[in-house]
Amino acid sequence: MTASAPTSVIVIGGGIGGFASALVLRRLGADVRLLEQAPEFGEVGAGLQMSPNATRLLKRWGLLDEAIASGVAPRRVVFRDATTGEDILDQDVTGEFRERYEAPYIVAHRADLHRLLARTAQEAGVRTHNSVCVESVAETPDGVRAVTTDGREFTADAVIAADGIKSAVRRQLFSADEPVSSEYVAYRGAIPTSSAAHAEDLDSVVVWLGPECHLVQYPLRDGELFNTVAVYRSRSFAAGRLEYEGADELRAAYTDCVPAVRDALTNVNDSLRWPMFDREPLSTWNKGRVCLVGDAAHPMLQYLAQGACQALEDAGTLERLAEEIIFGADGDASRWPEVFERFTDLRQAKTARVQTTARAWGEAWHLAGPIERTVRNMLFGSADRHGVWEYTDWLYGPQPADRLDAGTTVEGDRSGTSVRA
């Protein structure tokens, strides 16, 4: 590889994962094209929690200050019983937490973070194309060809598929598995704090745990906006109906909750719901010069607030590997398969653990029986007294995205079955 012929990469999908990967590879010197099926880039109007495993990377990429400026760095993450109003666990995420993980816990508006990544990637020279829907990819003797639904072809040395939970590339090259229904749906809203019901605890992320439901609240944009997410087990979705069926089911799901929670339902847009899906962990995401990242590789339920954070870890790990293997002194573009092989080795067990733990975490949040809920509250409370590091180090501590030799505490191989939850 010479300076006049940089290695070329196609990134499929312009979500948070696609733009993060495109940005880091472009900055290393790759010629990067990003193909997005939608006519315009964008994200839904809702919040995103970003834990230190992700904000360390934003810091490395020079984006953290702007992310914080347009977001909020909360002081606490509080779990509260939605039927009694009592605090169960109150974790300080400043001070010792921030020192231990060398970066803050922040909350950001999705659209702000997405715009920040997209703008920085475009300024760095990533070439973006909208209204380009990739149907299939195929290896050629010295590269990869992406073919679009309207018959166009794009070629490059490597393809990174960041095309989300319904990834066409995953289906074509890796697995015919289907998204798994959680039977839960989410309603979201980010509205002016001044007009939000029960906009309290403005220095915190508050998670109210109710029977087969929960509600998350936190401020955005320096406190100007208040974000609310209501998630409950939907009988209509459980019965296989994806379409919106009106807000009555939403209100009924929170009947047993305290007024502060029931009233807060007025903060969400109750005319639109998101049915929640994940998938089983996949053992392989790489085939030759093609690799999956983000939700295309490891879609997860949102209960650990990690989907976008893991997509950033993917980008950080690719950055480290490409730097070492492709952009190192003796590297060349034919070594992308090696980058992707090592990438999957380094990332699969961790993300499989996040996927499976997120499911278990959701089950613990949504316990319905009073005895189970009491025991759950006692266990969560004891974590508060004994320290939470044993629960958070594997997730937020040093990762290969920081340093390739940074081991996670994850045990297991690529099967995902031997991973501790």
Tell me, residue by residue from 122 to 151, as one string, x for binding to ligand FAD by CB under 6 A and - for no binding.
-----------xx-----------------
Residue 274 binds ligand FAD, judged by CB under 6 A = yes
Residue 78 binds ligand FAD, judged by CB under 6 A = no
Tell me, residue by residue from 166 to 195, as one string, x for binding to ligand FAD by CB under 6 A and - for no binding.
--x-----------------x---------
Distance (Å, whole) CA 381 – CA 59 = 32
Q: How many CB atoms lie within 10 A of CB 407?
A: 11
Q: Which of 81, 163, 319, 402 binds ligand FAD (CB under 6 A)?
A: 163
Helix and strand counts by DSSP (H, E) for the chain: 13, 18
Stretch in the footprint of ligand FAD (CB under 6 A) among 31-39, 191-199, 243-251, 252-260: 31-39
- In degrees rounded to 5, what are phi and psi of residue 354? -65, -40
What are the C-alpha distances in Å from 360 to residues 45, 276, 300, 352?
Answer: 27, 15, 11, 13
Residue 13 binds ligand FAD, judged by CB under 6 A = yes
Q: Token pair 């992308």 is at which residue?
A: 336
Which of residues 264 and 333 has its CB atom nearest to ligand FAD in the complex?
A: 264
Residue 10, CB half-sphere, CA atoms under 13 Å: how many? Answer: 29
* 253 in Cβ contact with 232 (< 8 Å): yes
Which of residues 52 and 294 has its CB atom nearest to ligand FAD in the complex?
A: 294
Q: Which of 37, 234, 286, 408 binds ligand FAD (CB under 6 A)?
A: 37
Which of residues 89 and 134 has its CB atom nearest to ligand FAD in the complex?
A: 134
Q: Which of 294, 397, 400, 416 binds ligand FAD (CB under 6 A)?
A: 294
| Interacting positions 227-266 with ligand FAD (CB under 6 A) | 229
Most distant pair of Cα atoms in the chain: their distance: 68
Residue 17 binds ligand FAD, judged by CB under 6 A = yes
Q: Which of 49, 55, 120, 228 binds ligand FAD (CB under 6 A)?
A: 49
CB of 75 to ligand FAD, least distance (A): 17
Residue 63 binds ligand FAD, judged by CB under 6 A = no
Buried b (16+ CB within 10 A) or exposed e, 410-420: bebebebeebe
CA 114 to chain centroid? 12
* 10 in Cβ contact with 146 (< 8 Å): yes
Which of residues 38 and 252 has its CB atom nearest to ligand FAD in the complex?
A: 38
- Count, residues near ligand FAD per rule CB under 6 A: 31
Residue 311 binds ligand FAD, judged by CB under 6 A = yes
For the annotated catalytic residues, the residue numbers are 218
CA 67 to chain centroid? 16
- CB-nearest residue to ligand FAD: 307
Residues 6+ apart with CB under 8 A from 53: 101, 309, 313, 395, 396, 397, 399, 401
CB of 4 to ligand FAD, least distance (A): 30
Distance (Å, whole) CA 45 – CA 183 = 23
List of residues contacting ligand FAD (CB under 6 A) = 12-18, 35-38, 48-49, 133-134, 162-164, 168, 186, 229, 274, 294-295, 302, 305-309, 311
